[in-house]
C-alpha cells in the first residue's frame, strides 16, 4: 500500500512555459497597453492642439515637429495604439451583445483586430511618411 499522505506533500511544479497566450489574450493585453499609452500621450495631443491652433507660426512649428523622423515614429506609435484600442473596443461591444462569443469566432475576431489595426496603421502611416 503506497503512502498517500507522503505523496501529497510532494512539491508540485507546473511548467507553464509550453502554454502560449491565445490570440484573444494578446488582443486583451494590447488593449490595456494601448489604453495606457493613449492616456500618457494625452498631454502631447493637447500640446499639439494648443500649438497648432494658437498662431500661424505655431501651426508651422507643430508641422515641423511631426515631420521630424522622431515625430513620425511617435505619430505611427500613437496611431497604432489608437487603432488597436478602437478595433479591440468594437470587438468588445459585439461580445457584450453575445455576438461572436464562441471560441472559434472569438479567435477569428481577435485575429481580425490585429489585421485591421495593423493594416490601417501601415496604410495611414505610409501616407503620412
Partner 1 sequence: MVNRVIVGAHYGLKDWLAQRVTAVVMLVYTVVFLSALPRAITHASWKALFAQEWMRLATFLFVASVLIHAWIGVRNIWMDYVKHTGLRLAAQIATILWLAGCAGWAMQILWRI
Residues forming contacts to partner 1 in the complex (CB under 8 A) are 32, 35-36, 38-39, 42-43, 46, 49-50, 52-56, 59-60, 86, 89-90, 93, 96
Residue (6 or 93) nearer to partner 1, CB:
93
Q: Where are the alpha helices (DSSP H) in 68-102?
A: 69-96
CA 96, 98, 103, 104 torsion-angle sign = negative
Residue (22 or 55) nearer to partner 1, CB:
55
Shortest distance, position 83 Cβ to partner 1, whole Å: 10
Residue (23 or 86) nearer to partner 1, CB:
86
Shortest distance, position 104 Cβ to partner 1, whole Å: 25
Q: At what angle do helices 56-67 and 69-96 cross, to 10 degrees?
A: 90
Q: How many CA atoms lie within 13 A of 29 on its CB side?
A: 5
Residue (35 or 71) nearer to partner 1, CB:
35
Shortest distance, position 25 Cβ to partner 1, whole Å: 15
Asked if 86 and 77 touch (Cβ cutoff 8 Å), the reply is no
How far is C-alpha 33 from the chain's CA centre?
6
Quote the CA–CA distance of 95 and 18 in Å, as a whole number. Answer: 28
Shortest distance, position 96 Cβ to partner 1, whole Å: 7
Amino acid at each position: 500500500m503506497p503512502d498517500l499522505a507522503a505523496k501529497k506533500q510532494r512539491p508540485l511544479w507546473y511548467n507553464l512555459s509550453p502554454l502560449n497566450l491565445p490570440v484573444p489574450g494578446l488582443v486583451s493585453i494590447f488593449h490595456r497597453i494601448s489604453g495606457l499609452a493613449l492616456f500618457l500621450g494625452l498631454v502631447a495631443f493637447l500640446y499639439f492642439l494648443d500649438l497648432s491652433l494658437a498662431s500661424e507660426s505655431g501651426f508651422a512649428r507643430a508641422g515641423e515637429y511631426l515631420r521630424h523622423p522622431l515625430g513620425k515614429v511617435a505619430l505611427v506609435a500613437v496611431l497604432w495604439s489608437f487603432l488597436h484600442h478602437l478595433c479591440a473596443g468594437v470587438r468588445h461591444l459585439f461580445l457584450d451583445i453575445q455576438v461572436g462569443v464562441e471560441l472559434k469566432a472569438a479567435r477569428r475576431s481577435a485575429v481580425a483586430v490585429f489585421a485591421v489595426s495593423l493594416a490601417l496603421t501601415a496604410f495611414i502611416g505610409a501616407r503620412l511618411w
